[in-house]
Amino acid sequence: MKYLIVNADDFGASVGINRAVAELSDLGVLTSTSLMITMPGAIDAWRYARHRPQLGVGLHVTLTDEAANPLVSFDDSKRCRDAIEAQIDVFSMWFGRMPTHLDAHQNVHRDARLQPVFEEVAGCYDLPLREHSPVRYFSRFYGQWDSEPHPEHIGIDSLLQMLDVELHDGITELSCHPGYVSDDFESPYNAEREIELRTLSDPRLREFFHANGIELINFGGVHEDRRIAT
């Protein structure tokens, strides 16, 4: 059986990103998102999420700014752990529950200094951590590399071709970054967000899921029933 989590990163980064996440959730395409709890748009994102119980919301731990500058020294494991746990605490206070999963802005959980800290925290709270759980992480749906835009890579034809090759039995997470461009957030990945939004909204994507027997789930299902992932 093929299960797919369609997860939008950067929820809470801007009102434009929040609106895109809500629209795709309402379409039934986006099943999950990762919230940047420290960003100015986080309260707006929380308002959207509380009216969409079908949308799994995890924590997009934010330890860097958009220029990838650390907001806390990565060499200080205690301060990093404190920062991660502080964001979890705020999340649980707002939502009245734990996040469905953990990942990190700009994938800093891959940093050799931070990976053990993230693994420790995820284990302590019993949360799936991106790339360290039974869920296979698929990250190639991204429209930029080597600082050059590649809009053709995030069009609907390209996405369908990638999914046809990459989806296997078990659970896969498709990472995405949809959004509307808005003045409240500056990012090097900007125009590409609207292309991703158009691609994920394309009816051919839902037709593909139906035709190939792909069941859309969120990380809540993984956490509650780990038998799916085996």
DSSP-based three-state secondary structure for 214: strand
Whether the Cβ atoms of residue 197 and residue 20 lie closer than 8 Å to each other = yes
Structural domain tally of the chain? Answer: 1
- Using only C-alpha atoms, what is the Rg of the chain? 17
- Domain assignment of residue 71, given as a range: 2-229
How crowded is the C-beta side of 46, counted as CA atoms within 13 Å? 18
Q: How far is it, in rounded angstroms, from Cα 19 to Cα 16?
A: 5
Which are the contacts of 65, defined by CB distance < 8 A and separation ≥ 6? 71
CATH of the domain at 182: 3.20.20.370
Span 101-122, pLDDT tens digits: 999 999 999 999 999 999 999 9
Do the strands 144-145 and 148-149 form a parallel or antiparallel pair, or are they unpaired? antiparallel
pLDDT digits (tens, 9 = 90+) for 15-71: 999 999 999 999 999 999 999 999 999 999 999 999 999 999 999 999 999 889 999
Q: Give the count of alpha carbons within 13 A of 100, CB side only.
A: 23
Residue 230 has pLDDT above 50, yes or no: no
The amino acid at 17: I
